[in-house]
A and B are shown apart, each in its own frame.
Chain A
Amino acid sequence: MDIVNIIILALLVNNIVLAQFLGICPFLGVSQKTSTSIGMGAAVVFVMALANLVTYLVYFFILEPLHIEFMITITFILVIAALVQIVEIILKKASPSLYQALGIYLPLITTNCAVLGAAILAITKNYSLIQSLVYATSTALGFTLALVLMAGIREQLELTGIPKAMKGFPIALVTAGLLSLAFMGFAGLVK
């Protein structure tokens, strides 16, 4: 029950983009086309799950025993940046086809605040290792869900006559607002 709760909360009720405002930059930047948004989403799911696993271990096996919890921001961002680099190098060698699909999105992820945000939030919420992994995966899936929905809407918006002052970011933000309004309907799904 606990695990199911975490999944529903992270995926729908507290959607990382539409309710918690993390990862807005890629959400607005890479949501022009459905195909690219799925690629970005897959890369985020992969990196976020891995990053939460590694940062969890770093926090509880290095930072806490040494009583340097205040170093959390510096260590986590470095761990994530290094991780993204390593994933990129391994993918390039081991699976060129996957690298082709995800490659261009990987460098963008270092500056995706959703990854650092989920890693820090999992620590502040006192999750266990399993819970943290579940939380990261479903948060990333929630990010993908929002991104793909947004891309679908924006593809349609391309065909409509939008006032000049609203083209680009403004209309995307208003669309995101309406999406977020729709996601508020999920509140109360779980306690």
Chain B
Amino acid sequence: MSLFKEFTKGFVKENPLFVLVLGTCPSLAITTSASNAIGMGAAVIFVLTMSNIFISLLKKFIPDKVRIPAFIVIIATFVTIVDLVMHAFTPDLYSSLGVFIPLIVVNCIILGRAEAFAQKNTVLSSTLDGLGMGIGYTLAIFAIASIREILGNGSFFNMKFVSPEASTILIFIMPPGAFLTFGYLMVVINKLKAKFN
């Protein structure tokens, strides 16, 4: 497969969230506003790319039997870096993402890509895979978050476009709205896939 395909496959065709259904927990929990989604997406792109790079660099040195703990240590290191950086520079974002920053460690996308891709491929293609998958994930959570924020809060990137006394569809900002938005978006994607294949 060409390098360009390696990079773009995560956008739609193998979208980690809508097609592979990996990493569902944070995508439901933090998608209450578009800016949260971008923050989470950036964190995932960083951790995914860096851990892919390091795992593909170290693939010859990690014994097969202990590869999962080794991967987890590498991933947890980068998650800790993100955690500390976000705490220092974007305190508002840090408090609204809360426990879901440390939980990037157990986000199945990252371990999944390490196991399925980075440990078998070259550094360059693993980097592109990490970047592409991370961007695909960000696009997916951005889509969910935009729908939820616009319908549920009447705002976009925290800018209100309805009058303060207007009533919005509050359910979208609450937990049930997350499940419903995600579920119906997946239906739309399944429909589109069936149409174009």
Chain A positions near chain B (C-beta within 8 angstroms) = 18-25, 28, 70-74, 77-78, 81, 111-113, 116-117, 120-121, 124, 163-166, 169-174, 176-178, 180-181, 184
Taking a contact as CB atoms under 8 Å apart, the answer to whether A21 and B105 are in contact is no
Taking a contact as CB atoms under 8 Å apart, the answer to whether B103 and A170 are in contact is no
Taking a contact as CB atoms under 8 Å apart, the answer to whether B183 and A177 are in contact is yes
B197 to chain A, nearest CB (A): 13
Given A113-B106, A173-B183, CB of A71 within 8 Å of CB of B175: no
Given A113-B25, A113-B106, A180-B175, CB of A173 within 8 Å of CB of B180: yes
A23–B29 Cα distance when bound, in Å, is: 11
A46–B82 Cα distance when bound, in Å, is: 31
Chain A residues within 8 Å of B124, by CB:
none
Chain B residues within 8 Å of A78, by CB:
69, 72-73, 76
Chain B residues within 8 Å of A18, by CB:
175
Q: Which of A116, A166, A172 contacts B105 (CB 8 A)?
A: A116
A176–B177 Cα distance when bound, in Å, is: 10
A-side binding surface: helix, strand, loop or mixed?
A: helix
Among the interface residues B105, B176, B184, B194, which one has the most CB atoms of the partner chain A within 10 A?
B176
Taking a contact as CB atoms under 8 Å apart, the answer to whether B77 and A74 are in contact is yes
B-side binding surface: helix, strand, loop or mixed?
A: helix
B158 to chain A, nearest CB (A): 21
Chain B positions near chain A (C-beta within 8 angstroms) = 21, 24-26, 28-29, 68-69, 72-73, 76-77, 79-80, 83-84, 99, 102-103, 105-108, 111, 171, 174-180, 182-184, 186-187, 190-191, 194
Chain B residues within 8 Å of A73, by CB:
76, 79-80, 83, 102, 105
Chain B residues within 8 Å of A19, by CB:
175
B169 to chain A, nearest CB (A): 13
Taking a contact as CB atoms under 8 Å apart, the answer to whether A184 and B175 are in contact is yes
B39 to chain A, nearest CB (A): 17
Given A28-B24, A77-B106, A173-B182, CB of A70 within 8 Å of CB of B175: no
Taking a contact as CB atoms under 8 Å apart, the answer to whether A165 and B80 are in contact is no
A73 to chain B, nearest CB (A): 4
A18–B178 Cα distance when bound, in Å, is: 10
